[in-house]
Structure 1
Amino acid sequence: MDAARALPPGGQAPAVPTPAAVAAPAPLQRFLAAPGEHLKRGPIAVILVEDQTEVAATLTHHLKLGFRKILALSPEPLAPVAPLDDPKGRVLNLIHDTRARDALPRAVNAVIAAAPADSWLYYGYNAEFLFYPFSETRSIGEMLGFHAEERRRAMLTYVVDLYAPDLARDPDAVSMEQAMFDRTGYYALGRPDRQGGFRERQLDFYGGLRWRFEEHLPPDRRRIDRIALFRTEKTLQLLPDHRLSVEEYNTYACPWHNNLTAAVASFRVAKALARNPGSREHIRDFTWRNSVRFRWESQQLMELGLMEPGQWF
C-alpha cells in the first residue's frame, strides 16, 4: 500500500501511545496516613529490604503463601522485578530507612497503628522465607483461620539460619539452590520475669549460626524465637527484641494444649557473619557435621521439630 494513502485525514500519523509512567513509591508514613483499601483485609506481610539479596525470591515466596498485601519497605525504590507474578498488585513498594536503628519495630508499629484492629500481620526481611505446617498446599489465610479458632492472637516462629556450603563460591553466604541448615543444636531456657521467677509459657530459644558463632553476636541478638505472626491491637507494640508488649502474645502455646508454630528460613545471619569485618576473617566455612541440605518444604522442618502442627492435621 502507498504510504501516503495509509495516513488518516489531515496527513498526520497517529501518535504512538507511550507507557504510563510508574508512580514513585511513597514514603511509609505518608502511605499509612491514607492507606485507602490497601490494609482493609489481611493477612498483611511487611518485608524490610535491607539489600538486593534475593528480593524477588522473597516476594514471590510470600505471594504464593497467599498474603493479601505485601508491603516491601526499602531505602530506595526497588528495581523492577520482571519475573514477579503479581497481576493483582499485591506487592506495594514503600520508602523506609531499613538500615536505621530500630527500623523494624518503627515500621511494624506504624503499620499496627494504621491497620484495622484484629488484622493478621507478618514481618520479616529479604532473604527470609516463612514456612508453616503444610504450607505447600494450604494458604496462610487457612492456617491463621484455624489458629484464631483456637483463640490464639499470635504465633511463635523459629528463625532457622540458612547458609551456603561453599563461601569461596558464594562469598555472601547465600545459595538458594544449595542452602544448608543445622539439623541439631537447638535448645530453650526459661524466660526470667522481674520477680526472679520465669514467665509462664515463655522460653528463650537458641541454636543455628547464632549459637555456633555466638562470640560474633551481641547477647541480645542470639535468640532465634520471633513472634512474627500476630493480630493487631491499637495499643500493641513490637519491641526491639522481637517480643510484643502484651505478654500473652509472647507465649508459645495456650494453657490447655500445644498450638501451631511456624519457622522463618533466613540467610540474614549468614550474610552478616560473611560481610562483617570482625567475623569474616575468622570463618572459613559454615558447614559442620550436623549440616543438612534444606529441601524448601515444611515437612522437613516438622520432622526436625522446628515447627509444630499442634491440632491442625
Structure 2
Amino acid sequence: MTYDSLEQFLQTGQDHLAKGPVALIFAEDDVELASTLRHHLSLGFQSVIAFMPHSFKLPADLTERCQRVTMERANGQPMREAVNAITKAAPDIWLYYCFNAEYLFYPFCETRGIGEMLAFHSEERRDAMLTYVIDLYAADLWQTPNAVSLDTAQLDRSGYYALARPDAENHDQPKERQLDFFGGLRWRFEEHIPSNRRKIDRISIFRSQPGLILNEDFTFNDQEYNTYACPWHNNLTAAVCSFRAAKALKSNPGSTFDIQQFSWHNSVRFEWHSRQLLDLGLMEPGQWF
C-alpha cells in the first residue's frame, strides 16, 4: 500500500506498527533499493516500510509486500523526524532503520529470524542493539563508477578501532559502556569526511518508548540505549553492511577525482554471510548460541 505522506501513514497505517520488529528503509536514491527491501524481508520483519520519493519505482512483488510512504528527502533531518514520529506513535515495539544499499546482518541470521534474535535480546533485559556500519565497495571503480556492486562487493578486514566517548556533562570523563568506533572508508578517506560523520557505530535496532529521541549522530537521548553491553556480560551486536559511504565519496565532486580505487591490501571479498563478519570481529554473538 502507498501512503502519500508520513502524516497519512501515522493516521491510517497503524496496523503496520501493531507488532514488531518493523524495518524502516529510507531511500536516498534508487540504487539497490529493491535488493535492500528483499534482504530485510528475508530476515523476517513483521513489516518493511519504504520511505521514498513518488518517482521511484518498485517491482510488483515488493509493491505487494512492502508499505510505501512518500518522502521526497529521505535522509538527514527528515529521516530522524520520521523515526522519532514512529517511535512516539508506536511505543514498545522493536524498530530498525537503515538507508537503501544497506543490509543488516546479525549472528547466525541465515538460520534464525530477526524475531527470535530480539526475543533473546529482550530476555537479556536489553532495549537497544549496537550495530557497526561496515563499508562495502565495488572491487573495480573503473567498471563500477558508482562504487556499488553486489557481485564484487569488498570490505576492509582490518583498520577498525574504538575511542572512549567523553561525557561533556561530567568533565569529559569516559561514558560507561560507550565507545566511538571508527574504520572502513570513513577512516581511510577521512580528509573527505566531516569529523562528525566519521563514526561507524549506530544504534539501528531499538525498542520504542515514550520520550525516546534519535539524535543526529545515530544515538538516543536515553544513555542506556547507547551502550554496547549490559553491566554483567557482553551482548549481541550486529552489522549494517553499507555502500552508503562509497556512493557518497564517488558522487561528491570534492572527492570523486581524488579516489581512483577503494581496494587496498586489506580488502577482502564480502561473502554475504554472518560467519565472515563474526570471524573478522565485526559483530559479537554474546550469549546467543
Q: Is the 8 A contact 2:212 2:222 kept in 1?
A: yes
Which consecutive residues of structure 1, in runs of 5 or more, have no partner in the other structure? Answer: 1-22
Q: Distance in 1 between matches of 2:270 and 2:224?
A: 32
Residue 223 of structure 1 aligns with an amino acid whose one-letter code is K
Q: Distance in 1 between matches of 2:265 and 2:215?
A: 35
Aligned to 1:10: none
Aligned to 1:128: 102
Structure richer in helix, relative to its length: 2
Q: Is the 8 A contact 1:48 1:72 kept in 2?
A: yes
Q: Distance in 2 between matches of 1:76 and 1:203?
A: 39
Match of 2:38 among 60, 66, 73: 60
The CA deviation string for residues 118-138 of structure 1, in whole angstroms up to 9 with x for no partner, is 100000000000000000000
Aligned to 2:225: 249
Q: Distance in 1 between matches of 2:239 and 2:76?
A: 25
Aligned to 2:118: 144
Q: Give the alignment of 1:1-313 within 5 angstroms.
A: 25-82=3-60, 84=62, 89-99=64-74, 101-115=76-90, 117-194=91-168, 195-313=171-289
The CA deviation string for residues 140-170 of structure 1, in whole angstroms up to 9 with x for no partner, is 0000000000000000000000000111110
Note closer, same or farther for the CA distance 1:83–1:170 as it changes in structure 2 (3 Å cut): farther
Deviation at 1:78, TM superposition (A): 3.4
RMSD (CA atoms): 1.3
For 2:250, what is the secondary structure of its paired residue?
A: helix
Residue 281 of structure 1 aligns with an amino acid whose one-letter code is F
Compute the TM-score of the two structures, normalised by the length of structure 1: 0.89
* Number of residue pairs matched by the alignment: 287
Residue 136 of structure 1 aligns with an amino acid whose one-letter code is E
Identity of aligned residues (%): 57
Which consecutive residues of structure 2, in runs of 5 or more, have no partner in the other structure? Answer: none
For 1:215, what is the secondary structure of its paired residue?
A: helix
Deviation at 1:173, TM superposition (A): 0.1
Q: Is the 8 A contact 1:33 1:114 kept in 2?
A: no
Q: Work out which of the two has the higher radius of gyration on C-alpha atoms and give 1 or 2.
A: 1
Deviation at 1:100, TM superposition (A): 5.8
The CA deviation string for residues 1-29 of structure 1, in whole angstroms up to 9 with x for no partner, is xxxxxxxxxxxxxxxxxxxxxx7532112
Q: Distance in 2 between matches of 1:271 and 1:94?
A: 24
Moved segments of 4+, more than 4 Å: none
Deviation at 1:178, TM superposition (A): 0.6
Q: Is the 8 A contact 1:210 1:223 kept in 2?
A: yes
